[in-house]
Amino acid sequence: MIKGFFTCFFLGWTCVATSAVAAQNGVSAPNAAEAERRAAGDQPDDPGPLAKGLSPKLKRAAIQKAMKMVADWQVKESEGRYNIDWTFAALYDGLLAASQTTGDRRYHDQVLRVAEANQWKLGPRPEHADDQAVGLSYLTLYAEDAKPERIDPTRAEMDQLVARTDDPQKNLWWWCDALYMAPKVLAQLTIATHDPKYLNFMDREWWITSGALYDSAEHLYYRDDRYLNQHEANGKKVFWSRGNGWVLAGLAMVLERMPKDYADREKFVAQYREIAERVAALQPPDGVWRASLLDPEDYPNPEISGTAFFTYGLTWGINHGFLERGKYLPVVQRAWAGMLQHVYGSGRLGSIQPIGAEPGKFKPSSSYVYGVGAFLLAGSELAQLSGK
């Protein structure tokens, strides 16, 4: 994906935000994409030794230890590169969850600094879901301190969005990742404003996208319509792990914010359960899904970002009574234990597929902020599941 890029440069903990839109500044699309990728992560040849002493047991203290190790590394690693792109938006979702779970205020305060430095603005493309994803962190911070500046830019942009006329030639959310990026923001905005128009708009657009990309036989989403007729080397359909992870996590976030008596709630619940069951059935023995859900042999590297979003989505379902604990607890236990095998001694979380749109290959050291955000979201739900 090629997206508008915002970079937040700072000295120490002080952020000074600057924005750049490739088309406006004469930056070629490949250069913009490369800048986005470099800001979001890397995959060095020598990341150092793997971590020791991380317990896979679902005990709150053990989960918190792993979360803090990874979060501390990422917060420091991202110095000078914080921005409001979709890549970091997922990290901020995870940092805010980690702050609540661990009691460590530093993670919360880092997200707040980025928001303030960027004046609570969304990205430069007003109808592009990737540029709206950061809005959830703004609205989460607004919920704890209802200052108008924390909500006004997001509400103004969403007001324009819900007033748009759908283009039958091109869906608004034409790629499945978008179902994580924008719907959660619209659902939270209805909570913040008590105005159902945002949730209703999300509902309508979700099912337009679902109609275009959801395979009702496979119970999985195609990344976009380019993949409807493509096949993997083994002849099976192309279903990308992270793409479906975005969707399952997006469903969890929407359902958490949707009134229990909402008219279409059961449609969301049904799709959530279908995807959850399918994903669980596709879990490899080591607990970590591969980049291709139906052709793991051709993509043998464990893939952490999809796995972490699946773990978050499944554990959320157990915690909220949507999934049977006895059936799904072993799935998330295996997933968490598997993910811990990819934490390095420094706190780097490896085996995260770089930015892309389909299954791909990468180094074991590959670490990107959205995968860390997903890991922290998963850990937060698992800590809640563990009880103590």
Q: Which secondary-structure segment (H or E) carries 191?
A: helix 183-193
Comparing 9-23, 129-143, 190-204, 227-241, which segment has the lowest mean pLDDT?
9-23
Give the confidence band of 4 by pLDDT, cuts at 50, 70, 90.
Answer: very low
- Taking Cα atoms as reference points, which of 195, 118, 133, 201 lies closest to residue 161? 201
**Average pLDDT, integer, range 104-132:** 98
Tokens of 83: 């921005």
357-377 burial string, b = 16+ CB within 10 Å, else e?
bbbbebeebbbbbbbbbbbbb
CATH number of the CATH domain containing 21: 1.50.10.10
* 236, 295 Cβ separation under 8 angstroms: yes
Residue 227 scores a pLDDT above 90: yes
Residue 110 scores a pLDDT above 50: yes
Tokens of 266: 């059961």
pLDDT at 342: 99
* 241, 307 Cβ separation under 8 angstroms: yes
Tokens of 277: 């069951």
Give the confidence band of 388 by pLDDT, cuts at 50, 70, 90.
Answer: low
| 177 is annotated as an active-site residue | yes
| pLDDT (tens digit per residue) in 81-101 | 999 999 999 999 999 999 999
Domain of 323 in residue numbering reads as: 5-386
Q: Which amino acid is at 254?
A: V
pLDDT at 31: 85
Q: Which of 93, 130, 177, 224 is catalytic?
A: 177
Residue 27 scores a pLDDT above 90: no
**Average pLDDT, integer, range 37-55:** 98
| pLDDT (tens digit per residue) in 284-312 | 999 999 999 999 999 999 999 999 999 99
> Which letter does DSSP use for residue 322 in this model?
S
Instruction: Say how far apart CA 171 and CA 168 lie, in whole Å.
Output: 7
pLDDT at 29: 63
> What's the whole-number average pLDDT of the chain?
93
Give the confidence band of 28 by pLDDT, cuts at 50, 70, 90.
Answer: low
Instruction: Say how far apart CA 305 and CA 339 lie, in whole Å.
Output: 10
| pLDDT (tens digit per residue) in 314-334 | 999 999 999 999 999 999 999
pLDDT at 60: 98
pLDDT at 387: 78
| pLDDT (tens digit per residue) in 122-149 | 999 999 999 999 999 999 999 999 999 9
Tell me the percentage of the chain whose pLDDT exceeds 70: 92
| pLDDT (tens digit per residue) in 234-251 | 999 999 999 999 999 999
Task: Give pTM, 2 decimals.
Answer: 0.93
Exposure of 157 in the CB half-sphere (CA atoms within 13 A): 21
Instruction: Say how far apart CA 315 and CA 89 lie, in whole Å.
Output: 21
* 375, 70 Cβ separation under 8 angstroms: yes
Give the confidence band of 51 by pLDDT, cuts at 50, 70, 90.
Answer: very high
Q: Is the dihedral of CA 269, 272, 276, 277 positive or negative?
A: positive
- Domain total in the chain: 1
